[in-house]
Amino acid sequence: MLQISGVSKRFEGGRGASVAALERVDLAVARGEIVSLVGTSGCGKSTLLRIVGGLDPPTTGRVRVAGRAVAGPSPDVGFIFQEPRLMPWLSVRQNAEFGLASLPREERALRSEAALTRVGLAAFADALPHHLSGGMAQRAAIARALVTRPSVLLLDEPFSALDAFTRISLQDHLLDIWREDRKTMLFVTHDIEEALVLSDRILVMRGRPGSVYREYAIDLPRPRRRADPFLIGLKESILDDLDLAAAALMAAGL
């Protein structure tokens, strides 16, 4: 479904200086799979997601979604950011319909209604974003991403700004949505528990420039118990990977 091959990214600074953010990343995600990218900040995981979403071009390599090369944002790929990024002047419904401008009015209304019901915001369709709580705003953003019916969802630390309870309920919610039509999801997070509960595979990224350091497959049925001993064991292991990464960076004087 999603193929990332040999993707590197360099950011050009002023005066010819450039910073390498990603170094030859290869990754394939199967249809319906949930893959998490975890890593310390600065390892390039968000950069990778932006490249997959067509927001930034890669310096080298290529990304294919459903066999087609990514050249820019596409309605087939939904993007959910860390912040809800709702248009403050539009109602929740209008925000949900933001990506549907090319459709006739009735179709827009039907789709946004369905998406808002799906995220439990139907009763707030006419509210303005600043009346919503953080969790509700993020659900509205999810509805906005769902209405275009993408086959791939990219999520960039979508729940990291929320409190622990809201975060857990939205993780469950995301799984409910996934269960309905098995969207392919690529999920950036720095919350290891979140990655453990949600993903089929976890990729640990580290280094500067970042690359995939290790891959964990989790073959447990969902929903998963957060206190599952197997998951706790994995968490230890991933934390070790990341600590090593931090130590290696310090040793290199970065």
Partner 1 sequence: MTVERHPSETPSGVRRFAAPFRYLRLVAPLPIGRDAEWAVPEEAPDERLRAPRRRVLPRHAAVGFIIPLLILIAWEAACRSGLAPRNLLPAPSAVLGALYDLARRGELLGHIGITLFRVFFGFLLGTIVGTVLGALTGYSSWWRRLLDPMLQALQNVPSIAWVPLFILWLGIFEASKVTLIAVGVFFPVYLNLMSGIQQVDRKLVEVGRIYGYSGFALVWRVLLPATLPFYVTGLRGGLGLGWMFVLAAEFMGASEGLGYLLIDGEQTGRPQIIIASILLFALLGKLSDLALVSVARHYTGWQDSFRAASEKQADVADQRRLETL
Q: How far is the CB of 47 from partner 1 (least distance, A)?
A: 14
3 state SS for 157-197: CCCCCCCHHHHHHHHHHHHHHHHHHCCEEEEEECCHHHHHH
Residue 53 binds to partner 1 (criterion: CB under 8 A): yes
Nearer to partner 1, 75 or 223 (CB): 75
Residue 98 binds to partner 1 (criterion: CB under 8 A): yes
* CB contact set of 4 (below 8 Å; sequence gap of 6+): 25, 26, 27, 28, 48, 52, 61, 63
Residue 58 binds to partner 1 (criterion: CB under 8 A): no
Interface with partner 1 by CB under 8 A: which range of 171-179, 209-217, 233-241, 243-251? 243-251
Residue 251 binds to partner 1 (criterion: CB under 8 A): yes
Cα 238 to Cα 242: distance, rounded to the nearest angstrom: 6
Helices (H), 53-206: 92-96, 105-118, 134-146, 164-181, 192-198
Residue 79 binds to partner 1 (criterion: CB under 8 A): yes
User: In the range 110-139, which residues lie near partner 1 by CB under 8 A?
Assistant: 128-130
Task: Report the relative pairing of strands 34-39 and 184-189 from DSSP bridges.
Answer: parallel
Residue 148 binds to partner 1 (criterion: CB under 8 A): yes
Chain residues in the site for partner 1 (CB under 8 A): 53, 55, 73, 75, 79, 81, 83, 85, 87-90, 98-99, 101, 128-130, 148, 247, 250-251
